[in-house]
Amino acid sequence: MIVAIDGPAGAGKSTVARKLAERLGFRYLDTGAMYRALTWLAIREALPLAEGEPLGELARKNPVTFDEAGRVFIGGCDVTSAIRQSRIDRMVPVVARHHDVREVMRERQRELAAQGNAVIEGRDIGTVVAPGAEVKVYLQADPAIRASRRQAEWPDIGADALATDLRSRDESDSVRMQPAEDAELIDTTDLEVEDVVTRIEELIRARSLATS
Ligand code: DC
């Protein structure tokens, strides 16, 4: 079974998806980490981020891998922490926008999805990467709450800078951020992580009953 979890930055996808995968005993795939890892490598290689073709080539030659503990690797480097830096936050939408990059990433994400039960989080999982996913969820939350969640992760960055950053990421991600028609929308503004996870578990149960 594939559980697709999409939604904008700060909606709670990672925390929810990780916890859900743990409870279900499913693999967890963070597709945002793949775009982040490629961005990290492109900056290290000093590639122009405005050009899609060399970035697609770089992605093809350097598949992103994950270990059992969820660490992220590209080009032989463990980039788990490096890809969470704010400079990556700022540059990743520029890289993720390119068609050549998305093609390589989606191919790889489908390969990983084909390996069996998984919770996959991203922006285009329910619509493009795994349109046949048995359960699709789209998480959303009030922009102020999303900014404050980011602030908790990055206490050293000013609130205004974070809010501006989030807004510009939303704008550049928005074309890829439409919920799938058959996705269940969950507003996490006033919900605890546990409540969201339980709600998705109920959807999975209902889906399993419907198909058994
Ligand atoms: O979820 P995140 O913040 O780690 O995602 C990082 C960036 O990658 C974000 O700008 C959106 C992009 N992304 C995407 O375009 N498609 C995905 N499936 C996942 C992430």
Query: 143 and 204 share a domain?
Result: yes
List, as own/partner pairs, every contact residues 150-155 make where C-beta atoms lie below 8 angstroms and the sequence separation is at least 24, other chains included.
150/9, 150/10, 154/86
Query: 83 and 62 share a domain?
Result: yes
Query: 58 and 105 share a domain?
Result: yes
The mean pLDDT of 194-199, rounded to a whole number, is 97
Query: 210 and 122 share a domain?
Result: yes
pTM for the structure as a whole: 0.92
- Let me know: does 4 contact 130? Beta carbons within 8 Å: yes
The mean pLDDT of 198-209, rounded to a whole number, is 92
Q: Structural domain of residue 84, as residue ranges?
A: 31-115
Query: 98 and 121 share a domain?
Result: no
Query: 51 and 121 share a domain?
Result: no
Q: What is the CATH number of the domain that holds 111?
A: 3.40.50.300
List, as own/partner pairs, every contact residues 86-92 make where C-beta atoms lie below 8 angstroms and the sequence separation is at least 24, other chains included.
86/154, 86/157, 86/165, 87/43, 88/36, 88/39, 88/40, 88/43, 89/165, 89/169, 90/165, 91/39, 91/43, 91/49, 92/32, 92/35, 92/36, 92/39
Query: 211 and 123 share a domain?
Result: yes
Angle at 111 between CA 108 and CA 116, to 5 degrees: 140
Query: 88 and 133 share a domain?
Result: no
Report how far ligand 1's centroid is from the alpha carbon of 108 (Å): 15
CA distance linking residue 54 with residue 48, whole number of Å: 8
Report how far ligand 1's centroid is from the alpha carbon of 195 (Å): 24
Query: 89 and 40 share a domain?
Result: yes
Which residue, 115, 149, 167, sits at the end of a domain? 115
**Residue 81 is which amino acid?**
S
Query: 142 and 203 share a domain?
Result: yes
Q: How many CB atoms lie within 10 A of CB 164?
A: 12
DSSP 3-state assignment of 191? coil
Query: 103 and 70 share a domain?
Result: yes
Q: How many domains does the chain have?
A: 2
- pLDDT tens for each residue of 113-134: 999 899 999 999 999 999 999 9
Which residue, 100, 115, 130, sits at the end of a domain? 115
| Residue located nearest, by CA, to atom 10 of ligand 1 | 93
Residues in contact with ligand 1 (CB, 6 Å cut-off): 9, 31-32, 35-36, 92-93, 96, 122-124, 169, 173, 176
| Residue located nearest, by CA, to atom 16 of ligand 1 | 123
- The predicted structure's pLDDT at residue 154: 73
- pLDDT tens for each residue of 79-121: 999 999 989 988 999 999 999 999 999 999 999 999 989 999 9
